[in-house]
Amino acid sequence: MKNMRFFFLLGLLLCSMAHVHAQASLSFQGALQKASGANFDDGEYAMTFRLYDTETGGSAVWSETQDAVDVLGGVFNTLLGKVNPLNAAFDKTYFLGISVNYGVEMVPRIRLTASPYSLSLIGQNNIFPSTGPVGAGTATPDDNALMHVKKEGGTGRMLTEGSDTSMVTLQKGGQSSGIFYDGSKITISNLDLNITGNVAIPAGQTVKYGQLSDWRLVDMDDFSTGNDGWVCHGAWNSTSTTPFERFSPGTPLSEGYILRPTSSPGDALKKQFDLTGIPHTMVKVVFTYHLFDTWLNETGFAGFATRSNPFDSSNQSNGIFQVGWFWERGDGINHLRGAGYTAFFDAGGATNGFAQDYNIRDEMIAQCTDDKFWVIFGSTLDESPSNESFGISNIQIWVK
């Protein structure tokens, strides 16, 4: 257009950011004059705006056409990016080309300039030349951080995105470590972990050393608030319910609260555990077994069962109670001597034989892929619990 000319009247101002795509829009003001120097007639004009990273030549990195830009007294105001999102990085110098009513682009292109304060953000090679921490979501970033991301009333987030792998590299001197995410797992390379707090692993997850899964704790019964689902039966192969008690003897040798049958000799304590949703091929039960008073040629035992009714001795198919732990006292010594004496019970004002608590901390392991299984504890005692008895405490279920 030989009969018009354009001159840049006011500076460009970066004034807003789109909420979803974080793309900039630019408020732009300019003036149009004819070749005679007179202003353009008032009215609406189609204007095409193109953004280049070169002063001449090259291809536009962004463009849009606005069909009706108001011109009054030769002056126009518009917002670049309202037709096509302005997604340039603005990490370099750009030049704006303009054409009116689909004509030839005017020359020279307009170099976009920055306000003096914005120069502290652009810098060179995308390095912030200003000093002090940078805040995202906060005007007062923590002095201990170079980057402080804050979200009021929500979760602070930082996003690292890649087409195949996202990674964060940590470096000190010539040593470096990387945290990688490939869409299915996180891998940490060249890093020794020093954890000062707790590590929480949700149910169903696995800890591995190399390709071998390690034992992981999935349940624990310490009876601190109740019986934790344990019941008592008249024998390992009985379905009758019998009484039992929970008590704290007040000694660290008991490892907390104890469950003890109180009805008759041969009573068995049992509980069904449910590992649904927790992958496993083996189960380990860690426990403390307590022997009270005069055991002689008598045994304590524990084991697993996977049948819904492990006490039905008429059916000897797989799933029946299998002994996994066995202990026998047969050395001719009438009293088992523990590492301490504490009066647990008092009968008629005299401390009876329960004053001696012999503790055995042990474990039993079974191959088990069933989600539900029973753990059973019993004995072959032949005297009433007022004379001979057993108890259990601090039950832990481990799987791998």
Q: Are residues 232 and 369 in the same domain?
A: yes
CA distance 33 to 11: 18
Q: How far is CA 14 from the centre of its chain?
A: 39
Is residue 204 domain-resident?
Answer: no
Q: Which of 85, 113, 141 is the last residue of a domain?
A: 113
Q: Establish how many alpha carbons lie within 13 A of residue 343's alpha carbon, considering only the half-sphere containing its beta carbon.
A: 7
Is residue 47 domain-resident?
Answer: yes
Q: What's the pLDDT score for residue 67?
A: 95
Tokens for 355?
Answer: 């004053």
Which among 205, 181, 182, 256 is positioned nearest to 226, based on CA atoms? 256
Q: Are residues 271 and 393 in the same domain?
A: yes
By three-state DSSP, how is residue 28 classified?
strand
Instruction: Map 152-209 to HEC letters.
Output: CCCCCCCCCCCCCCEEEEEEECCEEEEEEECCCCEEEECCCCCCCCCCCCCCCCCCEE
What's the structural domain count of the chain? 2
Is residue 236 domain-resident?
Answer: yes
Q: Which of 51, 84, 113 is the last residue of a domain?
A: 113
Is residue 72 domain-resident?
Answer: yes
Give the residue numbers spanning the domain of 252. 221-399
Q: Which of 86, 113, 140 is the last residue of a domain?
A: 113
Q: What is the pTM of this model?
A: 0.52
Any idea what the Cα angle at residue 336 is, between residues 334 and 339, rounded to 5°? 150
Q: What's the pLDDT score for residue 1?
A: 44
CA distance 144 to 162: 29
Task: Report, as ranges of residue numbers, the positions in the chain whose pLDDT lies below 50.
Answer: 1-3, 7-23, 331-355
Is residue 203 domain-resident?
Answer: no
Angstrom distances, CA of residue 343 to CA of 264, 348, 350: 21, 13, 10
Q: What's the pLDDT score for residue 301?
A: 93
By three-state DSSP, how is residue 137 classified?
coil
**What CATH number should be reported for the domain holding residue 324?**
2.60.120.260
Please state, as a whole number, how many other Cβ atoms lie within 10 Å of the Cβ of residue 202.
7
Q: Are residues 240 and 380 in the same domain?
A: yes
Is residue 154 domain-resident?
Answer: no
CA distance 247 to 243: 13
CA distance 261 to 242: 8
Are the CB atoms for 181 and 167 separated by under 8 Å? Answer: yes
**What CATH number should be reported for the domain holding residue 53?**
2.60.40
Residue-wise pLDDT tens digits, 168-204: 888 888 888 888 888 888 888 877 778 888 887 776 6
Q: What DSSP character marks residue 11? A: -
Is residue 84 domain-resident?
Answer: yes
Cis status, amide bond into 252, omega within 30 of 0: no
